[in-house]
Amino acid sequence: MAARHISKQQAQGDTAQEADARKRWVNNLFGYWRVCAARVCKRTRGCAGDPYACFERWWWITPEAPKVQFRAYIKASCAGLSPQDALREADAEVERAAEHIARVDAETARAWEAKVAAEKADAPDPARGVHHRAALCADPVASHPLAASGEREERKGPRVRAL
pTM of the model: 0.62
Ranges 11-15, 38-42, 90-94, 134-138, most confident: 90-94
The mean pLDDT value for 85-112 works out to 93
Closest C-alpha among 68, 44, 67 to residue 55 = 67
The residue with greater pLDDT, 157 or 110, is 110
User: With 0-12 CB in 10 A as exposed, 13-18 as middle and 19+ as buried, what is 132?
Assistant: exposed
Query: What pLDDT is recorded for position 156?
Result: 60
Closest C-alpha among 135, 140, 143 to residue 118 = 135
